[in-house]
Amino acid sequence: MEKILSTILQRSSVRSFTEDKIPQKDIEKILQAAMAAPTAVNKQPWEFIVIDSASLLFELGSLLPYAKMAKFAPLAIVVCGNQKNMLEGWEESFWIQDCSAATENLLLAVEALGYGAVWTAVFPDITRIHIVRRVLELPPHIIPLNVIPIGVPAHEKTPKNKFNPKKIHYNKW
Ligand SMILES: Cc1cc2nc3c(=O)[nH]c(=O)nc-3n(C[C@H](O)[C@H](O)[C@H](O)COP(=O)(O)O)c2cc1C
């Protein structure tokens, strides 16, 4: 119990990595954590693209201005929504919350295993969506939400203390 809480509080974005590779067994643990997230009506509208090709990582990092750290990361996972598994009508946009919950679980698993990562945004920027679609050859019903470069942190990191009692409202506003 205390361990999960300290993992949550220790997590912070990591944007530079050593050259160390991440073993397949750890990649699977990270994906298992991602897919343990809750989803609306249990739709699980997600897909995960695991990128360990140095040339693809370099290409993505070169084309996405806010994901430059992907260029030299040993790994990235792209969390995507699958339109064929989404709810319909006004409920469709639940996929964003579902895939965001998966992303946070993924980031926490990365932290728990001693690696570092950063959430870099793709959706809803249409230019970034097109770039990721083209580079990864995604079919049109697959919407990339983010690109998460992952690796062994190259530097010590200090989590920000974002706890702010003023943001808490008990009972009514
Ligand atoms: C929806 C979302 C989009 C983000 N996009 C980027 C991004 O494109 N590039 C980047 O370097 N960091 C990005 N971040 C990471 C934030 O900058 C980071 O989480 C924030 O500064 C708080 O720092 P911390 O993660 O170390 O607590 C994003 C985070 C979220 C949740």
pLDDT digits (tens, 9 = 90+) for 113-148: 999 999 999 999 999 999 999 999 999 999 999 999
Cis peptide before 124 (omega within 30 of 0): yes
* Residue 5 maps to a domain: no
- Please give the distance, rounded to the nearest whole angstrom, from the Cα atom of residue 146 to the centre of ligand 1: 10
* Residue 57 maps to a domain: yes
Residues 152-161, mean pLDDT to the nearest whole number: 94
| CATH code where residue 130 lies | 3.40.109.10
* Residue 110 maps to a domain: yes
Q: What is the pLDDT of residues 85-106, one digit of tens each?
A: 999 999 999 999 999 999 999 9
Measuring from atom 31 of ligand 1, which residue has the nearest CA? Answer: 119
User: Residue 1: is its pLDDT beyond 70?
Assistant: no
- Please give the distance, rounded to the nearest whole angstrom, from the Cα atom of residue 14 to the centre of ligand 1: 10
Q: How many domains does the chain have?
A: 1
Q: What is the pLDDT of residues 50-59, one digit of tens each?
A: 999 999 999 9
Could you give the CA distance from residue 80 to residue 36 in angstroms, rounded to a whole number?
A: 16
User: Residue 77: is its pLDDT beyond 70?
Assistant: yes
Proportion of the chain above pLDDT 90, given as a percent: 98
**Residue ranges making up the domain that contains 28:** 14-153
Pocket around ligand 1 at a 6 A CB cut-off: 12-13, 15, 66, 118-121, 160
